Amino acid sequence: MKLKYNILAIVVAIAFSGCSSSKKVGEAVDLNGEWNIVEVGGTAIDTTKTEFCPTLGFETAKQSVFGCAGCNSINGTARVNAAKQTISFKQIGTTMMLCANMEYEQQILKALESVKAYKSAGEGRVQLTNGSGKAMLTLQKQ
């Protein structure tokens, strides 16, 4: 009789363990507000080589993005799906100033073109990622 109960207990345990999920849900991220761009393509930005501190700001209710790519101002549309942590940028425009060093500016604008999602990177940071999950930009909350 004990053997039957032991076997039944094992079967029940196996059945219930199959129902649990091992997939971790990403930490919720509120993109609203202003962020410093601290990395592009996994490389830290040296702000001594930019005219202005590179930033991005979001007003998700208005679907707007704004900021600075290191020299020129950025404005455009950012469609954010907070439940899926996806983002798409549309109609990104910049001013047309010429600065002494435009290297980071070009990298930031190119990275924005491939951003599809975002995720928490801990310590007040968020990563904007491409379709494969690779970090294109890392942002630090101001």
Is residue 18 included in any domain, yes or no?
no
Reported as a pLDDT band with limits 50, 70 and 90, residue 9 is: very low
Whole-number pLDDT of residue 8: 44
H or E segment at 140?
strand 135-141
Over the stretch 33-45, which tens digit does the pLDDT of each residue have? 999 999 999 999 9
pTM of the model: 0.80
Alpha-carbon gap, residue 105 to 102, rounded angstroms: 5
Structural domain contains residue 61: yes
In the structure, what pLDDT confidence band is assigned to residue 121 with cuts at 50, 70 and 90?
very high
Cα–Cα distance, 16 to 10 (Å, whole number): 10
Flag whether 16 is in a domain. no
Convert the pLDDT of each residue in 58-106 to its tens digit. 999 999 999 999 999 999 999 999 999 999 999 999 999 999 889 899 9
In-domain check, residue 12: no
Q: Residue 132: pLDDT above 50?
A: yes
Please name every residue paired with 78 in a beta bridge, in sequence order, or none if there are none. Answer: 89
Residue 14 lies in a domain: no
What contacts 76, CB < 8 A, 6 or more positions away?
Answer: 64, 65, 66, 89, 90, 91, 92, 93
Structural domain span for residue 69: 26-141
Beta-ladder partners of 119? 127
Q: Is the pLDDT of residue 124 over 70?
A: yes
CA atoms within a 13 Å half-sphere pointing along the CA-CB vector of 122: 0
CATH number for the domain that contains residue 36: 2.40.128.270
Listed in order, strand segments (DSSP E) in 9-85 are 33-40, 43-44, 55-59, 64-68, 73-81
The structural domain count of the chain equals 1
